[in-house]
Amino acid sequence: MGLVRTPLRVAREAARRWVVQPLFRARVDPRLGERPWYDTPDAERRLAELKLDASDRARLEAWRRDGLMVLEGAIDEARLEALSAAVEAAWSGANPRVWVEHYTADEVLFDPLQPHWRSEPHKLLDLHLHSAAAGAVLAAPGLARWLHLLLGPRVDAFQSLVFERGTEQAMHRDTNFVGLTPPWQMVATWIALEDIEPGSGELEYYLGSNHLADYRFADGGHYLEPGAPVPDDYSDHWHGLAAELGLERRRFLPKRGDVLIWHAGLVHGGSPVTVADSTRRSLVTHFCPRGAVPAYAWDRRRRLTRRLDSGLRLTAFPRRRRRERLTG
Ligand SMILES: O=C(O)CCC(=O)C(=O)O
């Protein structure tokens, strides 16, 4: 049955659109450019200003060229152990704030964690906000220093996922699915919580794909709303361009505590799981400079926030139970 548009309902909708939304709309900091500093023509000058030693400079030059950097052993054992304990505690049901993305044959569901989902395909959502141990991993000095070099003095971790097994996720570019304004003011980290073995569905990517022309969806834009069907030719777009330009396809086989930071434009995904029952424990987090606005935070009141000392703020949005059709 359709909703009847009574005068009261029409007035309420108008009040929400014209008064409430503008009043609480989170504003993008106008000092943020469309592109992060390292993608602008001014990057060479900014690099010189940073006065980095030769090895850090080489790392940033590789970042600009290839779209990623690997920080070996950036997370110390104490932080990793605390995070592993927090993940175990979450799975025992000890933390009622933790939610899980899980699946039926044709749907994606978002629900508060139930321990029996652990043995099924799933993602643990936003542990960075709900566990001090996960926040402490992101604030590890060897990682935080690079987040600040890339994104500036005030950085927000705005969503995270804990993976236990390979996702086999098709090749994609995050800006097409992770809603943020401006979309390219984002980096993501893949933190290995154990040594990753070949065949476990390790992360894979096209080296240098951060420079590839973007995919255009049917509406002409570069962003697909959550739950909208992914076009059939989406991943082939990336494979085709990568083949044309001869981009190397690589897999990430880190040791526990290693971190890969990827550029918003790096095309990546989960490789096939070829070793049955193998685990591939990792924490994936998306970051932006403070002043960029995640799609979920158009209304400032809806954002959950926890501040860490190092200029790092942890944010997420309050989850609601929902289900979406599974595509792709
Ligand atoms: O770890 C993976 O398999 C893929 C993760 C990923 O693509 C993402 O979170 O955007």
CA of 48 to the centre of ligand 1 (A): 33
**Distance (Å, whole) CA 170 – CA 327:** 11
CA of 269 to the centre of ligand 1 (A): 5
**Band of pLDDT at residue 1, cut at 50, 70 and 90:** very low
Q: Which atom of ligand 1 is nearest to the CA of 163?
A: 1
In the prediction, which pLDDT does 111 show? 92
Sequence-separated (6 or more) residues with CB below 8 Å from residue 11: none
Residues at CB less than 6 angstroms from ligand 1: 161, 163, 166-167, 169, 174, 203, 268-270, 284
Torsion of CA 102, 104, 107, 111, to 10 degrees: -40
Pairing between β-strand 282-289 and β-strand 249-251 as defined by DSSP bridges:
unpaired
When pLDDT is averaged across residues 235-245 and rounded to a whole number, the result is 97
Check whether 2 has a pLDDT greater than 50. Answer: no
**Distance (Å, whole) CA 69 – CA 150:** 11
Tell me the CA distances in angstroms from 91 to 119, 133, 235, one per residue in order.
11, 15, 33
3-class state of residue 57 by DSSP: helix
Name the residue with the closest Cα to ligand 1, atom 9: 284
When pLDDT is averaged across residues 265-282 and rounded to a whole number, the result is 97
When pLDDT is averaged across residues 149-157 and rounded to a whole number, the result is 96
In the prediction, which pLDDT does 4 show? 61
Check whether 10 has a pLDDT greater than 90. Answer: no
Question: Which one, of 80, 45, 288, lies nearest residue 194 by Cα?
Answer: 80
Which residue of 123, 163, 169 sits with most ligand 1 atoms within 8 Å of its CB, as the best mutation to test the pocket? Answer: 169
| pTM for the predicted model, two decimal places | 0.92
**Band of pLDDT at residue 301, cut at 50, 70 and 90:** low
Check whether 38 has a pLDDT greater than 80. Answer: yes
Sequence-separated (6 or more) residues with CB below 8 Å from residue 86: 95, 127, 131, 132, 133, 134
Lowest mean pLDDT among 76-85, 97-106, 242-251: 97-106
Torsion of CA 96, 101, 103, 106, to 10 degrees: 130
Which residue of 124, 162, 190, 204 sits with most ligand 1 atoms within 8 Å of its CB, as the best mutation to test the pocket? Answer: 190
Give tens-digit pLDDT for 171-217.
Answer: 999 999 999 999 999 999 999 999 999 999 999 999 999 999 999 99
Check whether 3 has a pLDDT greater than 90. Answer: no
CA of 270 to the centre of ligand 1 (A): 6
In the prediction, which pLDDT does 309 show? 75
Q: Which domains does the chain have, with CATH numbers?
A: 53-325 (2.60.120.620)
Helix runs in 92-229, H state only: 127-130, 132-138, 141-151
**Distance (Å, whole) CA 254 – CA 282:** 10
Residue position matching structure tokens 């025992």: 92
Question: What is the residue-averaged pLDDT of the chain?
Answer: 92
State what percent of residues in the chain have pLDDT above 90.
76
Q: Which atom of ligand 1 is nearest to the CA of 190?
A: 1
